[in-house]
Every structure is written in C-alpha cells, then in structure tokens.
Amino acid sequence: MSVEQKINQLRDELRQHNYNYYILDNASISDYEFDIKLKELQALEDANPDFFDANSPTQRVGGAITKNFKTTVHDFRMYSLDNSYSKEDLLDWETRIKKMVDGDVQYTCELKYDGASMNLTYEKGKLVRAVTRGDGVQGDEVTANIKTINTVPLQLKGDFPERFDIRGEIILPIKGFLKMNEERIANDDEPYRNPRNTASGSLKLQDSAEVAKRPLECLLYSIKGNNLNISTQFEGLDKARAWGFKVPKEAKLVNSIDDVLDYVEYWDTHRHNLPYEIDGVVVKVNSLFQQDELGFTAKAPRWAMAYKFKAEQVSTRLNEITYQVGRTGAITPVANLKPVELAGTTVKRASLHNADQIEKLDIREGDEVFVEKGGEIIPKIIAVDLTKRPGNSRPTIYIENCPECETQLERLEGEAKHYCPNYNGCPPQVVGRIQHYISRKAMDIEGLGGETVALLVKGGLITNYSDLYELTVEQVIPLERMAEKSAENLINGVEASKQIPFERVLFALGIRYVGETVAKKLAKHYKSIDALMFASILDLVTVDEIGERIAESVVEFFSFEENRKIVERLKTFGVQLEISAEKLASQTDKLKGKSIVVSGVFVSISRNELKKLIEDNGGKVSSSISSKTSYVVAGDKMGPSKRTKAENLNITILSEQAFLELLK
C-alpha cells in the first residue's frame, strides 16, 4: 500500500468511528484505540505534507487562532421565525396558509433547539465554510472553531449534492454543560449561566483549541441550494442524516394542525427527558413547492412557525438564607427552599448571587417566592409574592461576619461579592486551597482526593499545601478509608508532583485570578518564582494580557509573609519553581516584538511546532497579514491571495529553511 493509500484508509476509518460514536451514539472502538490510530495518522501526515487535507480527522483538535472573524455574506438569507404562544395562534396561522396554497398541507414538526444558529457550506462533500447568522444577511466566518465540533462532518458520505448550504443549531448538551461547570466551580470560577449562552459564546473564541475542549454539538434542520432534488422538508432531513449529519429523530411528519398541537403538547411535558434544552417547537409546511408559494415576510418565512414554551415557574417558601464560603473566600448567599418540583427536577436551593440581588428583590426568609427555570439550569428566584408576606417579616440583613470563622467580611470597591479576609484561618479557604493545589489541572496528585484533604486538615496533619511534602505513611494510615497500600500511593503521588512544571505549580498556588492561561504567561515571562515575587504592579502589567486586576492580586499574594514562607518550603522540598534548564535553553528573545504569520504546509516541522517555536523565541503568532506583520513564514501551498497581500505590503516572506536559519 502506498503512503497515500494508507493515509486515506486511516482517514476513512477514523471518520467512520467518529460517525458511529457521535452521530449514532454507538461506539465501535475504544477511546484508546481511536487515539492510537489518530496519532498514527498525524505522524504520517506530518511526514508527508503533500497529502495535507484541511478536513482530515486530525484537524479537529483545533489550534488555529483567529483574531478578527471575517464578515461573510450568506448566499441565502438566514431569516428569523415568527413566534406563537397558544393553540389559537397556530390555528390562525393555518387559516392564513390555507388561503394562499392549494391542496392539502402536511407539516414537519421539529424541536426548537436552544443554541446558536450556524450556516455550513459544503462543496464536493467537504466542509468549506461555517458562518454565524449575524444579522441574517451577513455573519462571521468561524470555520476553524466549527471544525472542532465532532458532530459536524468534515467529509460527507453517500450521494450528496455538489454544493449546498445546511443550517443547524450549535448546542451544548446538559451533561457536558454541568461537567464544564463542575470544573469551573472547582477552580472557583463563576459558573456559566446556561447552555445556550455558553454555546453561542464558544463560536467566537479566538483559540479553536479552547472550542475543541467544549462538548458542543451541531443539530441540523434545513438544506439550502440550487437543483438539490429534494421536494419536502422531511425528505431533506432524511437525506442530511444519510450524508452524515446529526438530525434528531424527534422530527415528525403530520397531516393536520391537530396533530401539530399533539406534538407541541407532548414535547412541552417531555422536553426534560432530552439530553439538550429546547425552548419550543418549529412547525414547517412540508412541501417545498408550497413553501415557495408562501414565501417570506420582511423578517420570517410564512411557511414556518415557532411555538415557544413558557418558562416554567413555581412558587414555594424560602425557608432560610445561608452563606457559602469559596476557596478564595468569596461569599455566595443561597436560598434554601421548601422542596418543589420544577422542570423535571426537585428544586431545594437557588443561588442569590450577592447582597445587591437580595436587596433589589427585597428577598426575606419566610417569603413565598417565584422560582423559574427558563434557559437556566440553576434555578433562580425572580420575584417575591408580596401578598403572602407574613406580618412579622423583617428585611434581610446581609451577614457581616464569615459564617465559618466569624471574621469580619470585606467588600472591595466595585465588587459585587463579599470576601472573608481570614486567608490562613478560614477552614473552607484552607481546605479549598489545598484541594485546588492537588487537582488534576494543577499538581494532579494521584492517590489524594478532596475528602482526604479535608480529613488531613481536620486532623491537624496539614495546614497548607507545603505540609503535604512532610506527610508520612504512618501518619496517613489511621485516616478513614485508608490502608497501607492507599497511604503509600498518596505519599508516592505527592513525591511525583515534584516533577510538575513551573507553570502548573504557579497555577496550583491558587493566586486569585491566576488561572491556567495567566499562569503560563507569567511563568514564561518571569521564568522563576523569585523573579515573579519581586515584580511590581507596573512591571506586571507590561506582560502580554496581564491587567491591573491580576497584577494587584499577584502582588498582594506575595506581600503576605506566610505565602512567601510556604513558597520557600516548596522550594526546599524540590517542587519546580522555575522553568527547567532544558525549556529555558529553547527560549530566546530573538523574535521579540515580531508579529509573524504562518501559512502553508511544512516539511521538517509541524505547523504547531513552528508556532510554538515562534512563541518560545519571544515572537507573536498572528493569523492574518496586515501592515503590522513582520514576517510571513511560507510553506508549501501558501494561499495565492495571502502571497499577493504580503507582497503588496512589502512584507518579508521567509521559507521554512530561511526561518529556521534565522533562529540559529
């Protein structure tokens, strides 16, 4: 078999597994085997750049950075939908339709997926472009981001038209949304409000690798094009499914508006069993010929109608307001409710966000309150039923002292939240900080979990994360659910964490506002904790993407003697508190201040390696050529329009060889 054949065979195979897994929901290979094959393909592609294909399964991991999304005009305008809220509305709509078309009317009923709409263009079975709805006439091209979504086929199967557009909704399934939020809460980041906003916010992230991490899906509902040989909406859905798209099976073809009403009623009560959120149903005249006859109003098709479900609301009693203390000391007030059924789950608690929110709604213990679960997963209190307020009711007085350690709370100018400043003595902060330190994205200490950390603190065995390194097997064994083997694992896990690179240690320290990305930037710039410790606010803000808020937080962290002592101890235990010599050797300032565009396919180095090389040498990778571009590094198959642009702007074009030479 030739290399090309092997590459094509692997691509086909991976595509099929991807399809089985994401579209059919029926895995045909283990994740591990899939990874092995993907790596094999990646290696072959790296070694044989002539066979590069932008739609290869290897391209799903993302990596492309887009600074400015290109505005693109839609070939077919993306209309909005008219809304209806009642049976009468739907009957009126039917009457209007029947006046305008001859013969019987069938309807395709579909779910109204709650996400962000997307137009995908396919040519010769390959995805060539993905554009947001924008204002309906033109949107933003977000192809690099959309390619990372596994349910978007990059290569179609079967008998597809030469060229067409297909529309769908980018959604975030509820499970994936909750998982993302679990991680955010563990990191003490504010959780995302609802799946819809999180999905639509993902489309225009600049780093497509970030998008790849989010479990987004694309559900398709409409095909547009010329000479498609499709005569009904329902047939279109079937065909799209056969070409490899994810088209939910809940779509139903019905013969009368009465059947439409049944469909609406069914999904109004059963929608909570779906893996994703819907906000209604969309009803479409099935015949495309009749659709043509009906045409469009200024903003929406006459042949379609959305039926919007009402946001579900119930009223219940607010028993008590309690306060939670997070790892950074942030206080969150929580409404403890008389348990009530809402949108398919029992609701017992709702977040009250902060003191302002309580004041604005004048929420008091003992009140009867309205709880809503609209697009939001976390229920919220939208109002108080004042008619039911008990006579002895008193306004809520926000706590002034920490519920865990009694310390007086602080509220910084301009901040919505109160904080407990008892950094070293407030139990949830002490425990939370160590839990963060050991977490997967930080020091990833195997054999040690959050509950054990709480036990260690409670038992007085540790008071901060540097104490972990002095624990012994004998000390740990007596803890609940510990045995000799697990105690040894724990100690070994702690020992192994001494190899974790500096940037992750910096993240693990738990400095407020220093997340993973910021930690990377700071590690790269300062190279050691000693340099960072002595950096001033003025100096910190000169670092790329570091603002005043982060700078102040870093300076504050190191202003505490206690923190400096802990860092010193970590150092004596051998934790990595500077960039390794090896890594340092690969870093220079040679490209400092240079903005570099990479284009084409490379022979001796992968695109990602090339980008990393630029960054390691102090340069900035930019995605589009402008007068600010310093160089274009051009590989094979650099786009002709890019080349012309670079030439017109008199920008130096370097070959792969010339560029590598430059760094020597």
Selected binder of ligand AMP within 19, 93, 177, 221 (CB under 6 A):
221
- Under the criterion CB under 6 A, does residue 117 sit at the interface with ligand AMP? yes
Q: Could you tell me the smallest distance in angstroms from the CB atom of residue 406 to ligand AMP?
A: 50
Q: Among Zn ion, ligand AMP, none, what does residue 382 contact (CB within 5–8 Å per kind)?
A: none
DSSP letters spanning 574-616: T---B--HHHHHT--STTTT-EEEEESB-SSS-HHHHHHHHHH
Selected binder of Zn ion within 199, 347, 420, 494 (CB under 5 A):
420
Report CA 63 to chain centroid distance, whole Å: 15
- Under the criterion CB under 6 A, does residue 169 sit at the interface with ligand AMP? yes
**Tokens standing for residue 243:** 């070409």
Residue 175 burial (CB count, 10 A): 12
- Under the criterion CB under 6 A, does residue 578 sit at the interface with ligand AMP? no
Between the alpha carbon of residue 273 and those of residues 268, 270, 280, 343, 553, the distances in Å are 11, 6, 14, 10, 44
The contact mask relative to ligand AMP for 122-161 (x = CB under 6 A, - = no) is: -----------x----------------------------
112 is catalytic: yes
Contacts of 115 (CB under 8 A, 6+ apart): 169, 170, 171, 172, 195, 196, 199, 200, 219, 276
Binding part of the chain for Zn ion, among 109-117, 222-230, 244-252, 407-415 by CB under 5 A, reads 407-415
Q: Could you tell me the smallest distance in angstroms from the CB atom of residue 196 to ligand AMP?
A: 10
Three-state secondary-structure class, residue 528: strand
d(CA 103, CA 124): 37
Nearer to Zn ion, 343 or 402 (CB): 402
Q: Among ligand AMP, Zn ion, none, what does residue 113 contact (CB within 5–8 Å per kind)?
A: ligand AMP
Chain length of the chain: 664
Nearer to ligand AMP, 78 or 532 (CB): 78
d(CA 620, CA 615): 6
Q: β-strands 631-634, 652-655: how paired?
A: parallel
- Under the criterion CB under 5 A, does residue 430 sit at the interface with Zn ion? no
- Which residue in the list 37, 99, 112, 458 is annotated as catalytic? 112
**Where does 19-89 show beta strands of DSSP type E?**
71-73, 83-84
- Under the criterion CB under 6 A, does residue 254 sit at the interface with ligand AMP? no
The number of helix segments (H) and strand segments (E) in the chain equals 25, 20
Nearer to ligand AMP, 169 or 376 (CB): 169
Q: Could you tell me the smallest distance in angstroms from the CB atom of residue 113 to Zn ion?
A: 43
Selected binder of Zn ion within 64, 409, 426, 430 (CB under 5 A):
426
- Under the criterion CB under 6 A, does residue 263 sit at the interface with ligand AMP? no
- Under the criterion CB under 6 A, does residue 80 sit at the interface with ligand AMP? yes
DSSP conformation class of 506 = H
Residue type, 531: A
- Under the criterion CB under 6 A, does residue 66 sit at the interface with ligand AMP? no
Element of type H or E holding 554? helix 548-559
Q: Among ligand AMP, Zn ion, none, what does residue 402 contact (CB within 5–8 Å per kind)?
A: Zn ion
Q: Could you tell me the smallest distance in angstroms from the CB atom of residue 299 to ligand AMP?
A: 8
Burial (CB < 10 A; 0-12, 13-18, 19+), residue 630, is middle
**Tokens standing for residue 298:** 């200024």
- Under the criterion CB under 6 A, does residue 81 sit at the interface with ligand AMP? yes
Nearer to Zn ion, 29 or 405 (CB): 405
Q: Which 270-329 positions form the footprint of ligand AMP (CB under 6 A)?
A: 282, 306
Q: Among ligand AMP, Zn ion, none, what does residue 404 contact (CB within 5–8 Å per kind)?
A: Zn ion
Residues that contact ligand AMP, how many (by CB under 6 A): 11
Q: β-strands 83-84, 304-308: how paired?
A: parallel
Binding site for ligand AMP (CB under 6 A): 80-81, 110, 112-113, 117, 133, 169, 221, 282, 306
Q: Which residues are catalytic?
A: 112
